[in-house]
Structure formats: structure tokens, C-alpha cells
Amino acid sequence: MSENTEQQSVIKVREALAFLGARGEVRALDDSARTAKEAAAALGIEVGQIASSLIFLADGEPVLVIASGGHRVDTTKLAAVLGVNEITKANADDVRAATGFAIGGVAPVGHPHPLRTVVDIALSRYDEVWAAGGHPHYVFPTSYDELLRITAGEAADVG
């Protein structure tokens, strides 16, 4: 990703957060936070505090799942929550088309079109969680309740 694209994606997230009245500021990390484990290490927090924005295809339609970095998404539970027959993990092209971001930097906000969103209840255990800011080197702090609000997400057990 070029520096210009990097900055555009981060700016898009900053603008979305401001528009939505979110409290957290996007900040740069020295090291990549492409995975929940990398992000947690860079921030000095528990991996469960990482709010990973993942795209799944639910009967072929993109769905954003904001999952705790502390576990994998159980696709059987997710299918039940969504009331669909088939859940598959989206490929890189599907992720970019649905969110405008590359895998590893998918933010929970700033997408070109609204996405049905599910927020993992495991994140509710923490006062503060961290999400990607549009690029693997950028993150922002938020809370479980704020994530639900700014994404119009539905709370569910997906772990």
C-alpha cells in the first residue's frame, strides 16, 4: 500500500469517527498490527482487548464481525445469529470491495456502504478495546458500547 493510500484510508477512519462522535483518536504504531497478537503486543494490552474487524460472507452477502482477538469466530454460531445457511470467510478482494480497506487494516467504520455488523459480546469484559484505524500501523481506542453505537451493530456471542 502506498503512503498516499495509507493516509487516505486513515483519514477516512478519522473523519468517520469524528462524524459519529467517537471519543478515540487514531494513532500510529511503530510496528505493524496486522494481527490481534501483534496489535496487543504493540499496545501492551491483552489480546482479548483487540476488536478485530472481519468480513464474512453470509449466504454470499458481506457481514462485518467485530470479534475479540482472544478467540476465533465460531461460524456455526454466527450463522445462527444471522439466520443464514452458509458462512464463509471473505477473500482479500471481497474485503476491499465491502470495506474499502485491505486485510490487516480493516476499521469498523468508514466503509463505502453500510454493512450488517455483529459485535462480539466477549469485548464487553473490557473497559477499553482497540480497533484498526484503516491501516495495519494505525489503531484507535473505543469501548464495547461505543462500538455498538458507531457501527449500529448487534451484540452476539460469536466465540
Q: Mind listing the pLDDT tens digit for each residue in 5-20?
A: 558 999 999 999 999 9
> What's the mean pLDDT when you consider all of the chain?
94
d(CA 50, CA 15): 21
Query: What is the arithmetic mean of pLDDT over 137-142?
Result: 96
Where on the phi/psi map is residue 46: left (φ > 0), alpha (ψ -120 to 50), or beta?
A: beta
Burial of 19 (0-12, 13-18, 19+ CB in 10 A): exposed
Predicted confidence band at 1 (pLDDT cuts at 50, 70, 90)?
A: very low
Query: pTM value?
Result: 0.93
CATH number, domain with residue 97: 3.90.960.10
Identify the domain containing residue 141 by its residue range: 3-156
Whether residue 131 contacts residue 66, with contact meaning beta carbons closer than 8 Å, is answered with yes
Residue 27 has pLDDT above 70, yes or no: yes
Where on the phi/psi map is residue 155: left (φ > 0), alpha (ψ -120 to 50), or beta?
A: beta
d(CA 76, CA 84): 10
* Closest-CA residue to 149 (of 14, 12, 11, 17): 17
pLDDT of 91-138, one tens digit each? 999 999 999 999 989 999 999 999 999 999 999 999 999 999 999 899
Residue 2 has pLDDT above 70, yes or no: no
What's the domain count of the chain?
1
